Amino acid sequence: MGKIVTFGEIMLRLAPNGYYRFFQNDQMQATFGGGEANVAVSLANFGENVSYVTKLPNNPIGDAAIRTLKSFNVDTSDIVRGGDRIGIYFLEKGASQRGSVCIYDRAGSSIQKASRSDFDWNKIFKDADWFHITGITPALGPNLVDICIDACEHAVKNNIKISVDLNYRKKLWTKNEACDAMTKICKYANVCISNEEDAKDVFGIESKGTDVYSGKLNKDGYIEVASKLTEKFNFDYVTITLRTSISASENKWAGMLYDGKNSFFSKEYDLKIVDRVGGGDSFAAGLIYSLKNNYDNQKAVDFAVAASALKHSIEGDFNRVSVSEVEKLASGDGSGRVQR
């Protein structure tokens, strides 16, 4: 099977340990993560051949980000070195009624200042059959919009499937900017990954009667959103994650896959959350894996939701689970018994 290429920003993630608030003591967990990198690592853990494309500074922090990706068997040979700094995000984990807090310090990062000439997409896409990006990458600046479109054009030319996770970040751009750029990008895409908020924020597509803060979800609404997205962009698949936030410690989590005709809902999991960052990315990875491996639609969404349910039990951005672990859960054993 062909290689998967993902493109975006990998950041240094700095997080107080446990449930400490920022700077409550003098230690921080220093790891790496970021939407597209999370997808890459997840897919590599599933045994896929994955290349991660980004630009990183030529210093020991850039080296460490690459070492981390290499340790997961992600191909880093197309990472461009240069620029001034790695993007950073500070994460304070929430609990109970107190939500997690993210502070981004990513302006001026190497990837944010990258130019089209940094990436030779013909070379990068050699042997590839899938390309994944998210809405975070074009949000980094007009140069990134151009680079993303460049990549998509090359992908299409090479018969590479494209998946796009809408992932709207309001601190990075306005809804109008997002709509313009994502409209261009989605035209190339085969698979759209979203949650209800993203579809609304980016394209103004929403269903009636669902309030993401209410703790209730409405199946018809999700189908309506998926169908409107499909109409607009002619996607092969639209998939939507369904998160019900009871508190920062407990979520309900499910997903839906829409193939243009039918919708497939997964079971819903009651999650006791260890770390919810990267939950959506692990879903995207699970879905890409399922589609690449020709799982039927129900199995695909079940696999993606099980994979991402497991992610919520794992510290850090990356989903450190294997296919067999996901399949064990997807097949119904969520009892968490000891594996001796």
What residues from 225 to 254 belong to the interface with its own copies (CB under 8 A)? 245-250
Cβ–Cβ < 8 Å for 273, 119: no
Size of the site for its own copies (CB under 8 A): 85
For the bound state, the minimum distance from the C-beta of residue 206 to its own copies, rounded and expressed in Å, comes to: 18
Q: Is 261 in the site for its own copies (CB under 8 A)?
A: no
Indicate the SS3 state at residue 225: helix
For the bound state, the minimum distance from the C-beta of residue 68 to its own copies, rounded and expressed in Å, comes to: 7
Q: Is 77 in the site for its own copies (CB under 8 A)?
A: no
Q: Is 27 in the site for its own copies (CB under 8 A)?
A: yes
Q: Is 276 in the site for its own copies (CB under 8 A)?
A: yes
The only residue of 29, 143, 218, 227 in contact with its own copies, by rule CB under 8 A: 29
Burial letters for 217-240: b for 16+ Cβ neighbours within 10 Å, e otherwise?
bbeebbbbbbbbbbeebebebbbb
Site string for its own copies, 6-25 (x = CB under 8 A): --------x--xxxxxxxxx
Q: Is 105 in the site for its own copies (CB under 8 A)?
A: yes
Nearer to its own copies, 1 or 274 (CB): 274
Q: Is 171 in the site for its own copies (CB under 8 A)?
A: yes
Q: Is 28 in the site for its own copies (CB under 8 A)?
A: yes
For the bound state, the minimum distance from the C-beta of residue 274 to its own copies, rounded and expressed in Å, comes to: 5
The only residue of 153, 220, 270, 296 in contact with its own copies, by rule CB under 8 A: 270
Cβ–Cβ < 8 Å for 157, 126: no
Site string for its own copies, 130-169 (x = CB under 8 A): ---------------------------------------x
Q: Is 338 in the site for its own copies (CB under 8 A)?
A: yes
Which helix or strand (DSSP H or E) is residue 162 part of? strand 161-165
Please give the C-alpha separations between residue 136 and each of 10, 133, 152, 167, 259, in angstroms, as whole numbers: 11, 8, 15, 6, 25
Q: Is 1 in the site for its own copies (CB under 8 A)?
A: no
- In 3D space, the residue among 96, 134, 109, 113 whose CA is nearest the CA of residue 278 turns out to be 134
Q: Is 68 in the site for its own copies (CB under 8 A)?
A: yes
Indicate the SS3 state at residue 257: strand
Please give the C-alpha separations between residue 116 and each of 31, 59, 76, 212, 225, in angstroms, as whole numbers: 28, 22, 19, 38, 34
Nearer to its own copies, 162 or 277 (CB): 277
Nearer to its own copies, 117 or 336 (CB): 336
Output the six-digit token pair for 31: 């790891």
* Inter-axis angle of helices 35-45 and 60-71, nearest 10: 30
Beta partners for 272? 250
